[in-house]
Structure 1
Amino acid sequence: MTKPVLLWLRQDLRLHDQPALIAACGEGPVIPVYVLDDETPGRWRIGAAQRWWLHHSLAALADALEGKGARLILRRGRAAEVLGALAGETGAERIHAIRHAEPWWRAAEDALGERLSLHDGNHLAPLGAVTTGSGGQYKVYSAFWRALSERMPPGDALPSPQRIPAPERWPESEALADWKLLPEKPDWTAAFGDDWTPGEAEAHRKAKRFAAQVGAYSAQRDLPGADATARLSPHLHFGEISPRSLWNAVAAADAGMKFRKELAWRDFASNLVLDMPDYGARNGRARFDALRWRSGAAAEADLRAWQRGRTGYPIVDAGMRQLWATGWMHTRVRMIAASFLVKHLLIDWREGERWFWDTLVDADYANNAVNWQWVSGTGIDSNMWGRIMAPLVQSERFDAGAYIREWVPELAAVSAAAIHDPEAEGCRPAAYPAKIVAHREGRQRALEAAARLG
């Protein structure tokens, strides 16, 4: 009797272009396993919004596996220990998995030792393969992009297997419902299903639709009111579609190349945390360790106002309310909202990172950390601290009026001329809060804080 092999699934919940699955099928009967590990990641245990997505993505994957003659086995606990025990239980001597960049997953991979076979498949190029002339990791995206481009295109995607060989006996599986991944009442994720359909099938449908409309991407991607972004980030995060599938799907024209650069940014972020695994908690530039962030009751009140979309800045509030309602925020608005928290409110970027980690369906360790540190100016490759986004100017420049009306209903009746700053125009509705800090005051406070660093 051929011994089974384990397929360890994490953020690679797909059958198409799944190198670990293909390799496992070539060795014998395959037992696909997902381990809900809330212990190994520690502080980085999967956030609440991601848990909603995970529940539905696992359900979709289980159905897809059944269509191929297989089952999805669910277990809880420390991944390395659970997989080791399951290998003993089933007689499996080999575990196949796709390589991950997160430090806790790398630790689990190391713990599994030689019985684990790792495969590349969640990035455009193998993790750690795009290096400088001296063999180090790139710290600047533009240089990374040039080096990565020399390795592109990434090759053809692998087809899904026609059938997955099954073991003679399946091990016991926990029930997905028993994991209680969906929030209990009051269910703040109740409307997520209006915007999202997790799973591989939807990821490919959405990719096909975006590829057909990619011509509008470069011109409209910064307009919050336009439906021009791909909205594929949570599908990418959970590995329901591979980056190379998307690279090959979009045209090589200007708009398509801009999107391909966004895919490359994911590779850059993942490679950066290979070299700096604690990037989600530590400033990339040590100089900023001495920055005096605001703390105390006033700062805590401002943080709560930011989280709830009650800052008095319509574009910021619209973004934060969109985040709470849908688990996602327009990319341009993410930068505006993040800059406002760090610069205008002088609140530590890690507070914002934690909030995004819990409320974004696409919260990704590398992307989240690198993006926050880019906006904050604390990162290895980042915006200058002195470049402070003016949210009111950004709102008008990127025509956010319709977007604001959608997410801040108190301002629905405000005129087009006043929608970006109703307080300054003297028409702020009583139900909408006054600005918690004036733009010039916040900007000056941020500049002074940085000046004290010397």
Structure 2
Amino acid sequence: MTVAIALLTQDLRLHDNPVLHAACAAADEVVPLFVLDPDVDAAGFAAPNRAAFLADCLTDLDASLRPLGGRLVLRRGPAASVTARLAAELDAVSVHVAAGVSGFAHRRERALRAGLGDRLHVHDGSLTALVPGAVTPAGKDHYAVFTPYFRAWSQAPHRTVLRAPKAVRTPGGLASEPVPTAAPESPGLPPGGERAGRRRWRSYPLERYAELHDDLAADGTSRLSPYLHFGCLSANELAAAATRRGGDGAEAFVRQLVWRDFHHQVLAARPLSARHDYRDRGDRWLPEDEEECTAWRQGRTGFPLVDAGMRQLAREGWMHNRARLVAASFLTKTLYRDWRIGARHFLRLLVDGDLANNQLNWQWVAGTGTDTRPNRVLNPLAQADRLDPDGAYVRRWVPELAHVAGRKVHRPWLLDERPAGYPEPIVDPAALSARLRRARDLD
């Protein structure tokens, strides 16, 4: 009996999984392997919210494999050495893993190659709808602007969606670690796992996505991002399904999937952009002021839309995308603090905390990334009027303002009576871009 190993990373699913599909085709028996790697903890990726969601994902995947004749094998230690030892123990004919885009993924792949040689097979297309680098502009290695990337993405051939395997036969007698328990930092996390993700996808009213996804109060986004981050759902499968359905909602949804692919292809080409400015604007960020940054983290800036978003993040480990952009603009453009301060805080709490999307969205807002308008300021008051016109989102997350009616909730400093317990604005509402303009000499 031949044996292959499917080393799973951010592809914790049965459906449309090139790694699992290839391993099943390569051998009589397959070991679906997940390694609890201490280097992941050291790199800061295993924050409590994501660790709790991951535990759900692993439990769910094991339960899905059991009826197929398989099970998930968990081992602990450095991924490359653990996998090489198991391959030697089983005399595995091949080891299969998904290609990643981060510096961490590249280092892991090099270590796996050193230990496994030609037995290692790295598969593209597990983590994104289109492989990073599949489309490039003439003479360059990646697209730096979204719109031309979107056009190229739309015209490119995409990988065929793979069916879930009918059988996954795993050798008996293999030792396995228990699924680790983890307490989330945020009490309102969703359940993890492929089955939960597919239920959410099947029940989501895709035809209304274009209408609802910017409406903060409606909470009408798909909330599929955690399932995409952990690979419980395939971006390729979702893009194909939405394209088949068609309509304005499906088109708007696919566009957001393309944004995700766009950021992955940028990070794949420029791994250092996870820590360094993609485009240096000569910024000399103000020092990290403890009082202001703490107010921002706690949702006590005195600007209700910013505070509502930050409190939603603390409660749910997730934040509406538009609120993310507004909160990020407030930190980087209004307070003029380094985008890395905000990116670290988001990665600590976001259950969908994806390195490519988090870091490059922060850079887009800060003006150091791919935005063609680097001095753009998302005014929290104008954004509140557009995205939360009746104030329902703010009242949901800022109880001190729950009694304030209508749009007045966005400007509590204009009320005759100051809301009890709610702070004054930490910067002048009439000078929201003053620090940025001085620093970048825009006046």
Q: TM-score range by the shorter chain?
A: over 0.9
CA-to-aligned-CA distance 1:158-181 (integer Å, 9 cap, x gap): 1111111222x332111113xx43
Q: Give the aligned partner of residue 136 of structure 1.
A: 141
Q: Give the aligned partner of residue 54 of structure 1.
A: 54
Distance in 2 between the 1:253 and 1:341 partners? 36
Contact 2:339 2:362 in 1 (8 A): yes
Contact 1:139 1:272 in 2 (8 A): yes
Q: Is the aligned partner of 1:282 residue 2:276?
A: yes
Contact 1:418 1:427 in 2 (8 A): no
Query: Mapping of 1:3-22 within 5 angstroms?
Result: 3-22=2-21
SS at match of 2:5: strand
Contact 2:186 2:349 in 1 (8 A): no
Q: Give the aligned partner of residue 223 of structure 1.
A: 215
Distance apart, 1:449 and its partner CA: 0.7
Q: Is the aligned partner of 1:145 residue 2:138?
A: no
Distance in 2 between the 1:92 and 1:332 partners? 47
Distance in 2 between the 1:386 and 1:151 partners? 33
Distance apart, 1:443 and its partner CA: 1.2
Judged with a 3 Å threshold, the aligned counterparts in structure 2 of structure 1 residues 244 and 304 are, in CA distance, closer, same or farther, namely same
Q: Is the aligned partner of 1:172 residue 2:175?
A: yes
Q: Is the aligned partner of 1:236 residue 2:241?
A: no
Residue segments in structure 1 that go unaligned for 5+ positions in a row:
none
Q: Give the aligned partner of residue 323 of structure 1.
A: 313
Judged with a 3 Å threshold, the aligned counterparts in structure 2 of structure 1 residues 281 and 155 are, in CA distance, closer, same or farther, namely closer
Contact 1:309 1:316 in 2 (8 A): yes
Q: Give the aligned partner of residue 189 of structure 1.
A: 186
Q: Give the aligned partner of residue 364 of structure 1.
A: 354
Distance apart, 1:425 and its partner CA: 2.7
Aligned partner (choices 280, 285, 288) of residue 293 of structure 1: 285
TM-score by length of 2: 0.94
Q: Give the aligned partner of residue 126 of structure 1.
A: 131
Distance apart, 1:40 and its partner CA: 5.8
Distance in 2 between the 1:304 and 1:89 partners? 51
Q: Give the aligned partner of residue 207 of structure 1.
A: 201
Q: Is the aligned partner of 1:395 residue 2:384?
A: yes
SS at match of 1:51: helix
Aligned partner (choices 371, 375, 378) of residue 382 of structure 1: 371
Q: Give the aligned partner of residue 262 of structure 2.
A: 268
Q: Give the aligned partner of residue 412 of structure 1.
A: 402
Judged with a 3 Å threshold, the aligned counterparts in structure 2 of structure 1 residues 53 and 383 are, in CA distance, closer, same or farther, namely farther
How many residues align structurally? 434
Amino acid at match of 2:441: A
Which deviates further from its counterpart, 99-108 or 44-53?
A: 44-53
Distance in 1 between the 2:173 and 2:297 partners? 46
SS at match of 1:282: coil
SS at match of 1:451: coil
Query: Mapping of 1:31-110 within 5 angstroms?
Result: 31-39=31-39, 42-110=42-110
CA-to-aligned-CA distance 1:43-90 (integer Å, 9 cap, x gap): 343222211111111111111111211111112222111111221222
Distance in 2 between the 1:98 and 1:386 partners? 37
Distance in 1 between the 2:139 and 2:41 partners? 32
Distance in 2 between the 1:43 and 1:308 partners? 24
Identity between Structure 1 and Structure 2 (%): 39
Contact 2:329 2:378 in 1 (8 A): yes
Distance in 2 between the 1:173 and 1:435 partners? 53
Distance in 1 between the 2:406 and 2:399 partners? 14
TM-score by length of 1: 0.91
Amino acid at match of 2:385: E
Distance apart, 1:263 and its partner CA: 0.6
CA-to-aligned-CA distance 1:160-213 (integer Å, 9 cap, x gap): 11111222x332111113xx4324xxxx33332xxx121111211211222xx2
Contact 1:52 1:189 in 2 (8 A): no
